[in-house]
Amino acid sequence: MTSFFVGDRLKPFFLVEIYPNKKIVSIYKPDKYSKNEDFYEKYALGKLLITTKYNDIIFVKKPVSYKNALLVPEIILKTKTGCIIVSKTVEEYTKK
């Protein structure tokens, strides 16, 4: 598993956990119940937004080391039915 924080250094918006051997991705965001947890646990124990299979991952900028994970401003996940863009929000687009 590889973990990425998406957003800026002061306050990342989301935690994206990627399981490359299974091609599965999970996206989390902190919630009011996890606000007093340690930094990583705040996200990992927060609200699970999406768990899905992906085909490819595109990083807009090269990931940089950040705490116990990596930090990127935006991730694009190509899926079988479209794509998911994770930046300040999580937007899902489907093919027509």
Domain ranges of the chain: 2-94
Nearest partner of 29 among 17, 75, 20, judged by Cα: 17
Task: For residues 55 and 14, give the distance between their C-alpha atoms in angstroms, rounded to a whole number.
Answer: 20
- pLDDT tens, position by position, 30-86: 988 887 888 888 888 999 999 999 999 999 999 999 888 899 999 999 999 999 999
**Residues 23, 55 contacting (CB under 8 angstroms):** yes
- pLDDT tens, position by position, 7-18: 988 889 999 999
